[in-house]
Amino acid sequence: MIRTTFFIAAAALVVAGALWLAGRSGDVTLSGDGWQMGVPLPVFVFGVLIVAVIAALGYRFWRSVRRAPAAARAYVQRRDREKGYKALTQGMVAVAAGDAQEAARQAKRATSLLAEPPLTMLLSAQAAQLNGDENAANLYFTAMLDREETAFLGLRGLLMQAQREGHDALALAFTRRAHALQPKTPWVLTTLLDLEVAGRHWREAIEAVDQAAKRKAIEPDKARRIKATLMLACSQEAEDAGDSEEALAHARKAHALAPDFLAASIRLATLSAEADKKRAAIKIIEDAWSKTPHPALAALYGRLDDEKDPLKMVKRFEKLCGTNRDHPESHIALAEALLKAKIWGAARSHLDTAGGAAPSARICRLMASLEESEHGDMAAVRAWLLRATFADPDPAWICSGCGSPADSWAPICSHCGALGTLDWKTPARAAALEYSGTGLLPPADFGGDFGGGSDAALPVIMAPSAGQEPLPPTLPPDRFGDEGATLDHEPGDKPSRTGPNP
Ligand SMILES: [Zn+2]
């Protein structure tokens, strides 16, 4: 609108000027060497204007002729770039669609048309992978390491190749390099943690979980629990190396990080007792018992005192069990102390309360022990032992990732390799039936020491026999268990074993 108005105004001015000129009289005299010419003023002005316009057009034409080669080159480059980006897009679509041949064709085309290695090399590598040519893909990824802008992508590709081929140590080396380049990337942090754990590098794993928590790649609560688990692993390592002070220090850190963590309480209480810190051990046991009673805590509590008088021992256990009076484990612990003190009636009463209508295998065995000690009634003993083989299983350490039982708590599930997944809980009944389904007799290693301590009897029920496979996994194994499955790996492959997706 403004341009039109301007044009009309300019045209009006030109017409007005022409009319004004046409109304002027007079000549312009041009003279040269021996000649003279009179030209009317309007004709002269128009002549000058026409010459100026012709000169301007001539200059423009000359300029465009001079620039023609460069313009032609720019046009060809622009066309090639457009075609290259189109080929790149089609190549990526082909990769997504799994069309290996088309991906390779478009990758070749994009590489010849585009001078942008970061994009075309990645596509070429992915196309090679689709064609099953891992060596070619490896060459592309390795070549990407030479350029600053493609190094991270190359490392990611190489890391994934290493993980797919099960080379955890190589994958860890690539992840550490990727972490040095991009220390804030969440998947790098979680993959680093995963691989440090797989390599049993507990201290490095603690550093990785700290950084992952700092960058919010792992929720704070989960990070604390993982760190406490890793601290317990450090504690075990130190103990194995004979450094009991370091073992105790790490157990303390684990317990401080997660005061409700049963495994940390048991370990700290055990190490405190071994370090002759009985009062500290008793306090830890009593505190843990009030939250999660466990047979190992009761066994340790019994050993902590040199008390030889069984009646005084019963008093001690009454104090401990008073912190969690109604829990079945409290009744069982008291019953065991009462059995040793030969207070049969009260022991039977606590076992009845703990077992209810469906006593567990351990309670059945304690009942057998009671029948034998109180009445010497071997028929009743046999009946209780038979019942134990069909009874509900007792709580045990069960992997929440794959469902496998373990004899004792460990930082890593020996079956699926997940970190921190062993929980103290009652296993599914199928696990017990699978064990006891081969016969009616009680397990061969079940001795006559019925009242010999809870921790001796427990693993018998849940531990797989020699050569027997544990229960098949019900969930895909994850090193951080069902809760840890959301370690923010990028979508695609299995969460932990295979790491990020390209
Ligand atoms: Zn497991």
Task: Calculate how far, in angstroms, residue 495's C-alpha sits from the geometric centre of ligand 1.
Answer: 14
DSSP code at position 418: -
Task: Calculate how far, in angstroms, residue 472's C-alpha sits from the geometric centre of ligand 1.
Answer: 10
- Residue 409: which of 462, 365, 449, 362 has the closest Cα? 462
Per-residue pLDDT of the chain (502 residues; tens, 9 = 90+): 677 787 788 878 877 877 777 777 777 787 878 788 888 887 888 888 899 999 999 999 999 899 999 999 999 889 988 998 888 888 888 888 888 888 888 888 888 888 777 778 888 888 998 888 999 999 999 999 988 888 999 999 999 999 999 999 999 999 999 999 999 999 999 999 999 999 999 999 999 999 999 999 999 999 999 999 999 999 999 999 999 999 999 999 999 999 999 999 999 999 999 999 999 999 999 999 999 999 999 999 999 877 778 999 999 999 999 999 999 999 999 999 999 999 999 999 999 999 988 999 999 999 999 999 998 989 999 999 999 999 989 999 999 999 999 999 999 999 999 999 999 998 876 544 444 433 333 333 333 333 333 333 333 223 333 333 333 333 333 344 333 333 333 333 333 432 333 3
Task: Calculate how far, in angstroms, residue 156's C-alpha sits from the geometric centre of ligand 1.
Answer: 28
Task: Calculate how far, in angstroms, residue 425's C-alpha sits from the geometric centre of ligand 1.
Answer: 14
240-241-245-249 Cα dihedral, nearest 10 degrees: -70
In a 3-state reduction of DSSP, which class is residue 152? helix
Task: Calculate how far, in angstroms, residue 212's C-alpha sits from the geometric centre of ligand 1.
Answer: 23
User: For helices 454-462 and 429-436, what crossing angle results, to 10°?
Assistant: 80
Query: Residues whose CB is under 5 A from ligand 1 (ion)?
Result: 399, 401-402, 404, 413, 415-416, 418
**What proportions of the chain, in percent to the nearest 5, are helix, strand and coil?**
65, 5, 30
Task: Calculate how far, in angstroms, residue 416's C-alpha sits from the geometric centre of ligand 1.
Answer: 4
Q: Quick one: which H or E segment has residue 196? A: helix 186-198
Can you tell me the distance from the alpha carbon of 393 to that of 46, in angstroms, rounded to the nearest whole number? Answer: 114
Task: Calculate how far, in angstroms, residue 348's C-alpha sits from the geometric centre of ligand 1.
Answer: 37
Are 394 and 361 in contact, with CB atoms under 8 Å apart? yes
34-35-41-45 Cα dihedral, nearest 10 degrees: -90
- Residue 239: which of 284, 275, 214, 265 has the closest Cα? 275
Task: Calculate how far, in angstroms, residue 72's C-alpha sits from the geometric centre of ligand 1.
Answer: 66
